[in-house]
Structure 1
Amino acid sequence: MKRACIYHRGRTVWGEMVDDDNAIRLPNGMLVPASSAQWLPPVTPGAATYALGLNYADHNRELGFAPKLETPLIFMKGGNCFVGHQGATPRPADANQMHPECELVAIIGRPARNVSRADALAHVSGYTVANDYAIREYLENYYRPNARVKNRDATTPIGPWIVDATDVPDPQALTLTTTVNGAVVQHGSTADMILDVAGLIEYLSSVTTLMPGDMILTGTPHGVHFCAAGDEVVCEIEGLGRLVNYLEAD
């Protein structure tokens, strides 16, 4: 099942994708055409968001870092940074090195504390797609995430929907692709993560209790392509969906 969050008749509503993803069925049975929906980020209000940096060896080498870090590079993201499918992201005037980052997102379904790797995926309720834009001019030491780059309003498109974990047999066997104006700029596989989804849950749950609705953005593969205002950016993950975003001048 795929669950989407939309703005409909003045309120936020969750619905189920039907008709080959061409419509959203609301709880009252009404069908809303996907083409006319106002998409919202499928995010649980108040939930925590953990994001990974440098979790793909090929991307690390691309940036000039060691292929594998000694400990995971984890940072937090606030709710205002998210924007839904078909949304717009502001590109700062001085952000000449702003590029998209396609990421698999794991959503926690039940509390996890000191969870073993073997049991970790049982705590995942679903998966979605994120585009966690990076702005190289704003990163400290070229790669140290901070609020100015990773918590800017509407700079992390997410969605279009959440796919139930039962419909994703192996989260480590998914192809990720990013296109800018139709040209492929990223192409990789979740198989190449340094720390996979289960390992990330094991690590994070050893530090803090993960709660239902919490999200883990799992990092991005190689492919740095600087974007401009007016670009259409599409991040797609096999079996999960196609997330469309538009960059606009800030």
Structure 2
Amino acid sequence: MKLLRWGPKGAEKPGMLDGETVRDLSGVIDDLSPATVTLESLAKLRALDPASLPAVSPGRIGACLSRVETFHAIGLNYRLHADETGNPWPKEPIVFAKAASCLAGPDDTLVIPKDSVKTDWEVELGVVIGRATEHVSEAEALGCIAGYCVANDVSEREWQQERGGTWCKGKGAPGFGPLGPWLVTADEIPDPQALPIWLKLNGKTVQDSTTGDMIFSVAEIVSYLSRFVRLVPGDVIVTGTPSGVGLGMKPPRFLAPGDTLELGIEGLGIQHQTAVAYPG
């Protein structure tokens, strides 16, 4: 299934993609939320006949989840990305968090934060957890996943790398977590390590890779995180970005007002964002 949220910001409704038609799920569930992306809830949605649901003209597409319980993230998880930043390949996953309040729609305007000088792009595979999970083995880890989505782990590099402390301050500004357009259930993605992933800046491809370049696979990441935290339905894990970020360019290139981003993952849809200056 391809599930989505549609409508004005703050008033989105849940939907299901039926071919090219968006079907309204609001008569079945209130929203796509941690409570409705459990494996059990998704099984009930899968049993529906999409043709029995009203067709709608969606207009704006919102984030594919109404909220995120915890926004986990993995750093330096593509071999060529680690290389371009001059870092050794990690021996264990680098774990950080994004503020849950950074959640945004896939095509929402990207506001460059006030005082930012190094806002950067990172197309990533997003993983949505579908059942409570602790100490899960790698062999069983994929069975804990509700679905996958496109994510942009927008990052402010000065705040991330030059201001001391953890990476988190450079990762969680408002709008720094676009998710969607769809939540694609895990049964439609038999191998999350075989997905083409790409991003265009102003129409030019700057990131072009596959999830096969990950240092730690999705199964390894879910298993690893579950040793330290209890993963719960509605948790999102963004799993690292391929090479081609602005930080890795020579000279580095960061976002400016008017820049456009188009990013996607095969089977998971495409996002479009335009960068604008902070108001005022």
Runs of at least 5 residues in structure 2 that lack an aligned partner in the other structure? 28-52, 247-253
1:32: Cα distance to partner?
2.3
> Does residue 241 of the first structure (1) align with residue 265 of the second (2)?
no
1:15 and 2:15 matched? yes
What is residue 148 of structure 2 aligned with on the other side? Answer: 127
Task: Indicate the residue corresponding to 1:30 in structure 2.
Answer: 54
How many Å apart are 1:112 and its aligned residue? 1.1
Q: 1:128 to 1:143 in 2, by over 3 A?
A: farther
TM-score by length of 1: 0.91
Q: 1:153 to 1:184 in 2, by over 3 A?
A: same
The number of equivalent residue pairs is: 246
Secondary structure at 2:109's aligned position in 1? strand
Query: Which has the higher mean CA deviation after the structures are superposed, 203-212 or 39-48?
Result: 39-48
Q: What is the distance in 1 between the residues matched to 2:135 and 2:234?
A: 18
Q: CA deviation at 1:80?
A: 1.3
From 124, 130, 141, give the equivalent of 1:103: 124
Q: Paired residue for 1:55?
A: 77
Q: Secondary structure at the match of 1:213?
A: coil
Q: TM-score, normalised on structure 2? A: 0.81
> 1:51-110: per-residue Cα shift (whole Å, max 9, x none)?
0111111101101101x1122211112221111021011113653432210000111111
Distance (whole Å) between structure 1 residues aligned to residue 265 and residue 243 of structure 2: 15
Structure 1 residues 163 and 145: alpha-carbon distance in aligned structure 2, compared to 1, 3 A threshold: farther
Matches of residues 53-202 of structure 1 in structure 2 within 5 Å?
A: 53-66=75-88, 68-92=89-113, 94-141=115-162, 145-202=166-223
Q: Structure 1 unaligned runs (5+)?
A: none
Percent of pairs with identical residues: 35
CA distance in structure 1 between the partners assigned to 2:211 and 2:122 by the alignment? 13
Q: Tell me which amino acid in the other structure corresponds to 2:207.
A: Q
Aligned to 1:59, the other structure's residue is in SS state: helix
Moved more, 8-17 or 196-205: 8-17
Find the aligned partners of 2:9 and 2:241 in 1 and give their Cα distance.
36
Structure 1 distance, partners of 2:98, 2:118, is 21
